[in-house]
A = this chain, B = another copy of it.
Amino acid sequence: MTSQPASLSRRRLLVGSAGAMVSVSLLGMVPLARADEPKTLPDFVKWKDQSALIVHSANTMETQRGAIGSGVVTPSTHLFVRNNLPAPDGITDNPDAWEVTIEGVASPKTFTVADLKKMNVTSVASVLQCSGNGRAFFTHGPGGTQWATGAAGCVVWTGVPLSDVIKELGGNSEDARYITATGGETLPAGLDPKTLMVERSVPVQALDQVLLAWEMNDQALPLSHGGPLRFVVPGYFGVNNVKYVKNISFTKDQTDAKIQASGYRLRDVGVKGAPDQPSMWEMPVKSWITAPLEGAKTGRNMIYGVALGGVNDLEKIEVSVDGGKNWKQARFLGPDLGPFAWRPFVLGTDLPAGEHLIVSRATDVEGNTQPPERTPNERGYGNASWQDHGVTVSVS
């Protein structure tokens, strides 16, 4: 069996979408298919490539670890899906008519997407990653979707820089410390909206990189990824990238919506979420092996993976085929799409017969590197442990 990603499409077809391939090979706990899991794609993501996905639920689908390939951009058909609430119907039928209101600026205003498209346009490649990516490797059993590696992808967003919009509105209020974005979900009646609404605040410093995006991977933004318009914060965890954004406000304080006040907070196991705990904002440096995942032949092998620097450029990526005792520097593959993108990497190396624990460790230009071990936390967020992301490969 070759270790080259080009062969993975065939392999994917053989293993289907139930995660059988990774379940035999990953170190640590893995997400196993349960009998009650939906096995087909729900209607709003029917256009996706099911053979590249693990369907966890009607709102959560993970990219197969072996389906990443060696490309710099994740095809939209392969990108994971994670919706906090059901996607609202019909809003992408006439995307140019979607409206977003900007407040906390000198001249508040409501724009249509058509207005924004004429204002300016830029494209940015960035990693979209769920805060809980890598949760499956925690051993204290945090609840939530048991993502392994596939709640992450690298895509190209096209839209208008929020800073250009703000400039046209006379600048934001001077005492603003946060940008608060509100999603356009339809909330169920009779419940406190604050407990359900998707409203997130990010530090105002992120304004430099925020994009109001109407395209992903050069196509109109699909409903499942937040179309017609998404608030995109390159380098920040997925939850901050508010879908179907309908309101953006420059605020002195963070929103008191539950998803911000107590949700997505990093805290010790057993502790309840609270506003004084770190919020899941900037992503840390991280990497994982994507091939080989099962077996390999003795002799020369090509080891593939992906690495991301979060908000920083990557400095280097190292690979160890003996579980971290000895490291070799691997090479990045293909063009560098900027600090927020991930970079595929490859190492050609000889593998003798036996079981090998293959791990990778990325370091960014500021010297931040992946820790060997995960830090247990209540919700299983932000796992960047290089040990957890290794694969055991049988070479014969």
Tell me the A residues contacting B by CB distance below 8 Å: 2, 4, 6-7, 9, 69-73, 75, 95-96, 114, 117-125, 156, 158, 214-215, 217-220, 299-302, 333-338, 341, 344, 346, 348
Can you offer 19 A-B residue contacts whose CB atoms are under 8 A?
A4-B117, A4-B121, A6-B95, A6-B117, A6-B158, A6-B214, A9-B220, A69-B218, A71-B123, A71-B156, A73-B73, A118-B348, A119-B300, A120-B348, A121-B346, A124-B334, A125-B334, A156-B335, A335-B341
Question: A338 to B337, alpha carbons, bound, how many Å?
Answer: 10
A118: B residues at CB distance < 8 A: 2, 299-302, 348
Residues A122 and B333 in contact in the complex (CB < 8 Å), given A9-B219, A70-B218, A156-B71: yes
Complex contact B333–A121 (CB within 8 A): yes
A69: B residues at CB distance < 8 A: 218-219
Question: A396 to B26, alpha carbons, bound, how many Å?
Answer: 61
Complex contact A334–B156 (CB within 8 A): yes
Q: Select A71's contact among B71, B217, B336, beta carbons within 8 Å.
A: B217
Question: A156 to B122, alpha carbons, bound, how many Å?
Answer: 21
Assuming A70-B215, A119-B348, A335-B335, what are 18 further A-B pairs, CB within 8 angstroms?
A2-B114, A2-B117, A6-B219, A6-B220, A9-B220, A70-B123, A70-B158, A71-B123, A71-B156, A71-B217, A75-B218, A118-B348, A119-B300, A120-B348, A121-B346, A125-B334, A335-B337, A335-B341
Chain B minimum-CB-distance residue to A221: B6
A301: B residues at CB distance < 8 A: 118
Complex contact B158–A123 (CB within 8 A): no
A80 to chain B, nearest CB (A): 17
Q: Select A72's contact among B4, B120, B123, B300, beta carbons within 8 Å.
A: B123
Question: A334 to B334, alpha carbons, bound, how many Å?
Answer: 16
Complex contact A96–B218 (CB within 8 A): no
Question: A214 to B6, alpha carbons, bound, how many Å?
Answer: 9
Q: Select A121's contact among B70, B96, B214, beta carbons within 8 Å.
A: B70
A196 to chain B, nearest CB (A): 31
A123: B residues at CB distance < 8 A: 70-72, 333-335, 344
